[in-house]
């Protein structure tokens, strides 16, 4: 059996590095404090505080258990390799190789955590898909992107709440708003914020000519408590309307849809997926406050790309990623330069490699500036 001591040493090093970027010492000190708070009989007298405590405790526990489990697995494979070497037993060689590969893959997934450096990366994400230049193809492309992100969230085990969908005038959708709920949802999805470009043989062109279409995704961190945002009622226009999904595909048709416009900034928030008009209004106000909080952060930092990146028109020359279906098959991110020929897989939600490539590119860019 081959000597695997160098690989085990490399895994030990990665485990030691994980203690640094996961802040294991801080987490071990924090867990008993959170456990004490979570066990208080009056915890749920303040529901918001209770959710904060239990959510933090869950995250801390998950990180500590993941870290400790990796250390134990390294110990196990090291003991197995030593016994096999001492007894000249090659029958466990395949088991050892599989264990080393699994550990390497799990460390790669864990190391993604070190790339989450944004203030709000752990939060849920509010996402808005919007069709751009390209007519019916752009509206169809917007619907394709909506499905792509819903499939990606399903693959990751995230919960999704679809708040609003507006049908396209010719095909697909003109816009949609949805929330992705789960740890690091915003940290991952902020890599998708921007203009996306599709090149294909148009199904809407009688001559079957190649068509370029654009759609955009806007991503905002969802802040449940935004105490510094005060909204004057006179600054709001609240419209109610009859909601409609894309052919009944996405949302039920009701008379309770609500659209809120913040007149000073032109910020719009809509919801049509709750059971009542009152619930739709409450949800739309939550989303509006999150959007206005982001505008305030951008203003304070004096950087339009402080959180979501620079805004562009949804058209030529502004895309972050191209999806080419004709005359060849390729999806390429124009920032990280990550690419793949598996276009169908990407549209089916295989986005993790693009997200990780973006985060690594972003870190290298920040280091270059420093």
Give the pLDDT of residue 305: 46
| Domain extents in the chain | 5-115, 125-227+300-369
| pLDDT tens digits for range 300-332 | 655 434 444 544 556 566 799 999 998 899 999
What are the E-state strand segments in the chain?
125-131, 159-167, 173-181, 194-201, 210-221, 236-241, 257-262, 267-271, 319-324, 330-333, 339-340
| pLDDT tens digits for range 183-200 | 899 999 999 999 999 999
Under a CB-based contact definition with an 8 Å cutoff, are residues 16 and 74 in contact? no
How is residue 197 written in tokens? 């470009």
Percentage helix, strand, coil, to 5, in the chain?
A: 50, 20, 30
Looking at 3.65.10.10, 3.30.70.1660, 3.40.47.10, 3.90.650.10, the CATH number of the domain 125-227+300-369 comes to: 3.30.70.1660
**What does the alpha-carbon distance between residue 10 and residue 82 come to, in Å, rounded to a whole number?**
16
| pLDDT tens digits for range 99-150 | 999 999 999 888 888 888 788 898 999 999 999 999 999 999 999 999 999 9
Residue in this structure with the two tokens 């999904």, named with its chain if needed: 245
Could you give the C-alpha distances from 86 to 77, 79, 90, 94, in angstroms and in order? 14, 11, 11, 17
Contacts of 61 (CB under 8 A, 6+ apart): 31
- Among 189-198, 216-225, 249-258, the range with the most confident prediction by mean pLDDT is 189-198
Top-confidence residue, 22 or 308: 22
How is residue 17 written in tokens? 């590095």
Nearest residue to 305 (alpha-carbon basis) of 223, 367, 218: 218
Looking at 1.10.1270.20, 3.90.228.20, 1.10.10.10, 1.20.58.410, the CATH number of the domain 5-115 comes to: 1.20.58.410
5-115 against 125-227+300-369: fold identical: no
Would the pTM count as exceeding 0.85? Answer: no
């Amino acid at each position: 059996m081959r000597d695997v001591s160098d690989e085990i040493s490399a895994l030990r090093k990665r485990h030691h590095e994980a203690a640094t970027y996961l802040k294991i010492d801080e987490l071990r000190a924090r867990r008993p404090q959170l456990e004490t708070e979570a066990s208080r009989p009056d915890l749920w007298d303040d529901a918001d505080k209770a959710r904060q405590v239990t959510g933090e405790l869950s995250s801390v526990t998950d990180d500590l258990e993941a870290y400790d489990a990796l250390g134990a697995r390294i110990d196990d494979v090291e003991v197995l390799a030593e016994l096999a070497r001492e007894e000249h037993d090659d029958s466990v060689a395949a088991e050892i190789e599989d264990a080393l590969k699994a550990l390497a893959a799990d460390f790669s997934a864990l190391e993604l955590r070190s790339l989450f450096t944004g203030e709000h990366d752990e939060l849920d994400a509010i996402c808005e898909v919007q069709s751009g230049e390209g007519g019916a193809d752009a509206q169809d492309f917007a619907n394709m992107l909506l499905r792509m992100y819903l499939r990606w969230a399903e693959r990751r085990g995230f919960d999704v709440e679809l708040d609003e969908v507006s049908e396209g005038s010719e095909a697909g959708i003109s816009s949609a708003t949805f929330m992705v709920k789960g740890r690091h949802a915003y940290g991952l999805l902020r890599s998708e914020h921007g203009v996306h470009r599709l090149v294909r043989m148009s199904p809407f062109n009688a001559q079957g000519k190649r068509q370029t279409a654009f759609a955009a995704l806007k991503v905002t961190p969802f802040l449940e408590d935004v105490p510094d945002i005060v909204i004057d009622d006179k600054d709001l226009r609240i419209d109610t309307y009859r909601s409609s999904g894309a052919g009944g595909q996405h949302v039920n048709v009701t008379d309770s849809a609500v659209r809120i416009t913040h007149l000073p900034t032109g910020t719009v928030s809509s919801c049509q997926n709750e059971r009542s008009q009152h619930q739709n209004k409450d949800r739309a106000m939550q989303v509006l406050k999150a959007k206005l909080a982001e505008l305030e952060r951008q203003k304070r930092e004096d950087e339009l790309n402080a959180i979501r990146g620079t805004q562009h028109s949804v058209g030529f020359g502004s895309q972050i990623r191209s999806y080419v279906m004709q005359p060849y098959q390729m999806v390429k991110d124009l920032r990280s330069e990550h690419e793949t020929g598996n276009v169908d897989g990407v549209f089916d939600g295989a986005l993790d490699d693009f997200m990780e490539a973006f985060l690594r590119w972003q870190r290298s860019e920040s280091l270059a500036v420093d």
